[in-house]
Amino acid sequence: MSSSGKPAGGPRRPGILILFAALVGATTLAYVMMPRKPVEKPAEPVAEAPLPPLRQSLFAAPPVARQVPVDHVRHGETWTDPYDWLRDKDYPKVDDADVLDYLKAENAYTDQVMGGEEDGLRAALFAELKARVKEDDTGVPYPRGAYVYQSRFSAGQDHPVFVRWPKDGASNGEQVVLDVNTLAEGKDFYDVEALEPSPDGRYLAYSFDDNGSENFTIVVKDMQSGELVGEPIPGTSGSVVWAADNRTLFYVLKDESQRPKQVMRNSLGAAPAAATLVYEEADPSWWVGIGESQSGRFVEIGSGTLIANETRLIPTDDPTAAARVVIPRQDDRLYSVADQGENLWILINDKHLNFRLVQAPLADWSEGNWTEVMAGSDRQYLTGLLALKDWLVVFGRQDGTQQVWVRGTDGQSHTIAFPDAAFAVSPLNNEEYETGTLRVRYHSLVTPPTVFDYDLAGRTLTARKVQEIPSGYDPSLYTSERLMAPARDGTPIPVSIVYRKDFKKDGKAPLHLYGYGSYSIAMEPGFSTARIGLLDRGFAYAIAHIRGGEEMGRPWHDAGRLTNKPNTFNDFLDVAQFLVNQGYTSPGQISIEGGSAGGTLMGAVLNMGPDGMFAGAVAHVPFVDVLNTLFDETLPLTTGDYPEWGNPNIPEIYQVMKTYSPYDNVARRPYPPILITAGLNDYRVTYWEPAKWAAKLRTHKTDDNVLLLKTEMSAGHGGSTGRFDKLKEVALSQAFILRAHGLSK
């Protein structure tokens, strides 16, 4: 189970083992089905009370960071960094008064330009966004062990309450498992990563982060007495697995650079110092994660990078047994496994980059005993497995569109038929092994998130919940398309786009373009309540499925990483121009947005794009100081990022990287209005990267456009954790987007 912003109930997520990735969004709880009422298009902005354009000269002078030049020599070239001082020398502790004063001054300037959270356009947008959230809400109940679990929100609450009741309907009734609101009381930030009941349901292990650093503390609660058992375990990755004895816990400790490194085993109630080391990853570029197999028979220990991994198994009924390696690590070899009865299923990319599916005896899974069941294919990309007692579910993509294959123990297989042509689907709350039902979360650009139960034998979908939008939503008012934009090298780039049916393709409409394109992460064509307001104001909203993601299979990722990384940025610019050519919008009418590695994208295209193409840009926690960060192996993600971006100590990589590193390529040229966000406790993209970028942009840009930097002083990479606090962040971004397009409401 997990808290707000993640799938409630902790489904064992199928998929290739990627042990770290940039944050690309959040999964919301499913909502109650209700009749939908139509939404009328909002009135045009009130002309007599316009907000001032985002022109710097119309406001007080922005903060100016002092310059203290520091020289770096790389491959014989000298790079001068005038804002190196913004990195607190005591990091990860940030208490330098000059640094904090600068960040606070930038926050104050943002509020001066955009208005405060409680005023004007930001407040109106927050109210609009909040009106689309069902405040008093419940998730779909799901069975696990002897209990049925459910997550609930109450009106006014920022966090969920998790409850359970006996599966057999015993008279002792409902019990509160965890009230995250109580735990978060008085804290600016509180995130629960995992809630794992022991197999017998007596104990609950959960992990929390109360400052956004993603250093999670594990605690164990006795569900009978309500008391905590033993001492808290700090410095973990957040994941926890129980052995079958209800007394043994497995978890992962991070090292001093935030890398999940050591798998530990400990007994219930024992001091953390008494824990036994089960596995330690020696390669500094590899991360470690743990999980439990769907059958509950194995603790899975995974270590790896984006391009290679290794899995070990420990029987849960013999927790002190040595971990057995499934397939020893090899360069550029990825695989994932799932046990089912006497067999082991393996997805592996040994014969094809898009993976093949093989079956092996659990007693001897060596390669000589493999039987191929699904061959590798250019059209099919296999991404994950979910093995139930009598069914195997394979997740993947067919010609770029998500697909779910179902295979019975009789060897017969079929695909699940979903309502839309393009959609996003993922498993949800599948905690049982002996079941004939698959639960998924399904949505599309025009279809709100729906929780479906799929009868694997009957081949029927039953909707358990459709997200309710209290303020109203009529899907018949909107339409979506899947387009192919030609890149400059001739490669067709998929584009998903949604707009109201009264949208006119005359080149006059505003368009908001989103992109990511890294870490083999796909930007699915999914639903967003936050997007409705833009569509109803006449916008088209497009997602550029650029190279570097996985939308078109594993080769799509390879075509946008290492020395191919410039393809990611060129693709985005080519998509923007294509949408202009097709009449969806025009130059100067396109706003753009991306976060984390998508922030790299924003920085690169702002440097590379033609003058006047973009109306504005929003870059969330952007990874923009690429050279400085990837030359610094003391930072948490540096060595682990080499498979994606490359090691700049290699001359060939360096020569490519220096052409796009956003901070290093800021030029004396015009830039559109830009909103940059950061998190003070963010270890994935450290706060000084966006701060330095904002400072350098201010001194170089030749325009009169506003540049804003907003730092969350008590949050990390994902921003706020409370559902309403998150809406305030969205309201700021949307207020900025609207004003960048000259709209006042």
Residues 242-259, mean pLDDT to the nearest whole number: 95
Tokens (6 digits) for 158: 């920022």
The predicted structure's pLDDT at residue 684 = 87
Beta strands 511-515 and 540-544 are parallel
pLDDT in tens, 78-102: 999 999 999 999 998 999 999 999 9
The sign of the torsion formed by the CA atoms of 564, 566, 570, 572 equals positive
Element holding 417 (H helix, E strand): none
**How many whole angstroms separate alpha carbon 5 and alpha carbon 648?**
35
| Backbone dihedral angles phi then psi of residue 235, each to the nearest 5 degrees | 70, 30
The predicted structure's pLDDT at residue 344 = 98
The predicted structure's pLDDT at residue 37 = 31
Residues 527-531, mean pLDDT to the nearest whole number: 95
Q: What's the mean pLDDT when you consider all of the chain?
A: 91
pLDDT at 717 over 60: yes
Predicted confidence band at 38 (pLDDT cuts at 50, 70, 90)? very low
Q: What is the DSSP string of 147-175?
A: EEEEEEE-TT-SS-EEEEEETT--TT--E
Residues 209-226, mean pLDDT to the nearest whole number: 93
Predicted confidence band at 11 (pLDDT cuts at 50, 70, 90)? very low
pLDDT at 719 over 70: no
pLDDT at 172 over 80: no
The yes-or-no answer on residue 682 being catalytic is: yes
> Any idea which of 27-31, 165-169, 203-207, 412-416 has the lowest mean pLDDT?
27-31
Asked whether the beta carbons of 244 and 238 are under 8 A apart, the reply is no
pLDDT at 466 over 70: yes
**How many whole angstroms separate alpha carbon 251 and alpha carbon 241?**
7
Catalytic residue among 591, 682, 720, 733: 682
The predicted structure's pLDDT at residue 169 = 78
Q: How far is CA 352 from the centre of its chain?
A: 27
pLDDT in tens, 317-361: 999 999 999 999 999 999 999 999 999 999 999 999 999 999 999
The yes-or-no answer on residue 137 being catalytic is: no
pLDDT in tens, 391-439: 999 999 999 999 999 999 999 999 999 988 889 999 999 999 999 999 9
**How many whole angstroms separate alpha carbon 691 and alpha carbon 668?**
18
Tokens (6 digits) for 94: 């940030």
3-state secondary structure of 391: strand
Catalytic residue among 717, 720, 733, 741: 717
Contact partners, residue 163, CB within 8 Å, separation at least 6? 149, 150, 151, 152, 174, 175, 176, 177
pLDDT at 721 over 90: no
| Backbone dihedral angles phi then psi of residue 312, each to the nearest 5 degrees | -120, 150
pLDDT at 130 over 50: yes
Q: Go through the domains of the chain in sequence order and give each one's CATH number.
A: 56-131+472-740 (3.40.50.1820), 137-466 (2.130.10.120)
pLDDT in tens, 662-684: 999 999 999 999 999 999 988 88
More confident residue, 721 or 372: 372
3-state secondary structure of 184: helix
pLDDT at 20 over 80: no
Asked whether the beta carbons of 335 and 309 are under 8 A apart, the reply is yes
The predicted structure's pLDDT at residue 720 = 62
The sign of the torsion formed by the CA atoms of 517, 521, 527, 529 equals negative
pLDDT in tens, 683-696: 889 999 999 999 99
CA angle 502-507-509, nearest 5°?
Answer: 50
Predicted confidence band at 152 (pLDDT cuts at 50, 70, 90)? very high
The sign of the torsion formed by the CA atoms of 499, 501, 506, 509 equals negative
Tokens (6 digits) for 259: 């890398």
| Backbone dihedral angles phi then psi of residue 298, each to the nearest 5 degrees | -135, 145
Tokens (6 digits) for 697: 């942009």
The sign of the torsion formed by the CA atoms of 108, 515, 680, 195 equals positive
Residues 252-261, mean pLDDT to the nearest whole number: 92
Residue 406 neighbours by CB distance under 10 Å: 20
pLDDT at 45 over 90: no
Predicted confidence band at 170 (pLDDT cuts at 50, 70, 90)? low
Tokens 């996003």 sit at which residue? 424
Strands (E), 456-516: 460-466, 478-486, 492-500, 511-515
Range 282-311 burial, b when 16+ CB lie within 10 A, else e? eeebbbbbbbbbbbbbbbbbbbbbbbbbbb
Distance from the first to the final alpha carbon of the chain: 39
> Any idea which of 195-204, 455-464, 637-646, 708-717 has the lowest mean pLDDT?
708-717
Catalytic residue among 596, 661, 720, 733: 596
Tokens (6 digits) for 719: 């921003």
